[in-house]
Amino acid sequence: MGKLPTIGQRFTGAIQANDQAQRIAELQSEIEQLRSTQSPNLEEQLEVLRRQLIAQSGELEVDITLVNPNPHQPRQTITQESIQTIARSLEQDGQISPLIIVQQGSEYVLWDGQRRWEAAKKLGWKTLRAVTAPMPENLHRQSLLTFIHHEDLNPLDKAEAIVKEVSALTGLGFEEISTMLSTVLRRLERQQQMHQLTNLVTAHPKLQLQGVKALDVGEIEEKLLLSFLDLALNPASMKANLMPMLSLPSDLKESIRKRGLRGAHALALAVLSAKTLKISENQAAKERIKATQQVIEEALTVSKTRELVTQIKSKYLKSETSSSRDVTAVARSIERLGKSVLANTDTEQLVALKTLLQQKLAEIESTLASS
């Protein structure tokens, strides 16, 4: 995929256009493309969009009570700390950038600026400056494309938003999406076709369609793979890194949303389950919560988090260990010492074996007595 032109280059003279709504929609589309390619100049481009909207529709002083959060906002995690930080900035320097809002009847839906809006409410402000953009045809999809490749969008929010969109496109539920995706990816891996799928992520939609058809997958599988590719997502990466987020226990999800726990750390801590530790759900949750607290307070790396998990597991799991396998192997060897073998063995060896077995028998009795 070639480098996208800047908004200024692509829409030179947009301010003079007659069809303002169409121009604004095009500008929004350009922003979405920039986000999907993770353009390093994204925020500069977003500021260009604001200036274009100001030039075309003007800036409004909007009553905060008339502005509603976007119900399809992918970013579900907005910490109080981040709102407080923005509130301090607003209080000290005032509002620097206007919100971008979409008119909906006599009220508005937020497109960009939810944390500024939350911070202003916290400060007791009555109004905020904003610019308006036309309502997109598919608000959830447009919102998802706006935020999907944001680095600071946590993996849980991202996974939920993506699955919601994929579900809408395919008619499949979460469990069906997860199962079908696993099945088709395993088959493509066996057939050594995974590289073909990966190469389609940045391809043109027509080439994506042709490429998926060439993989000879089922009709529903084809629709599923194309729904991920259409969002510039690698299905294999989605399965490995994001789908597991949706199966995390509630305490880990809450820690991601409210305490800044990273996704990779959460996946490591998820190993501390009732099934793995062979304890009750309540006990497992207590162990996870305690471990999560330590991970956050000590800012442990993922590697150190895994070491902590291993330590906790060792408290509950007795070694089935190589030692038990060794005992089984020795017992079988002794069973094979039949009369004929013993009869043909040197007397000195038999005496040494008898002494060794007596020593081990004493150790076994001692172990049994203390257990």
SS (H, E, C) 35-63: HHCCCCCHHHHHHHHHHHHHHHHCCEEEE
Query: pLDDT (tens digit, 9 = 90+) per residue, 218-269?
Result: 999 999 999 888 877 888 888 888 889 999 999 999 998 888 898 889 999 9
pLDDT per residue as tens digits for the range 307-351:
999 999 988 886 444 456 777 778 888 877 777 777 778 888 878
The CATH 3.90.1530.10 domain(s) of the chain lie at: 7-146
Average of per-residue pLDDT values in the chain:
77
Q: What mean pLDDT do residues 93-106 have?
A: 81
Rg of the chain over CA atoms, in angstroms? Answer: 30
Closest among 361, 307, 288 to 330, alpha carbons compared: 361
Give percent of the chain above pLDDT 90. Answer: 26
pLDDT digits (tens, 9 = 90+) for 332-344: 888 777 777 777 7
Q: How is domain 7-146 classified at the CATH fold level?
A: 3.90.1530
Among 83, 62, 67, CA closest to 127: 62
Task: Return d(Cα 149, Cα 312) in angstroms, integer.
Answer: 35
**26, two tokens:** 């095009």
- Which H, E and C letters describe 125-193, residue by residue? CCEEEEEEECCCCCHHHHHHHHHCCCCCCCHHHHHHHHHHHHHHHHCCCHHHHHHHHHHHHHHHHHCCC
Q: Which pairing describes strands 107-112 and 67-68: parallel, antiparallel, or unpaired?
A: parallel
From 27, 17, 100, select the one nearest 60 (Cα to Cα).
100
Tell me, rounded to whole angstroms, the distance of Cα 127 from its chain centroid: 35
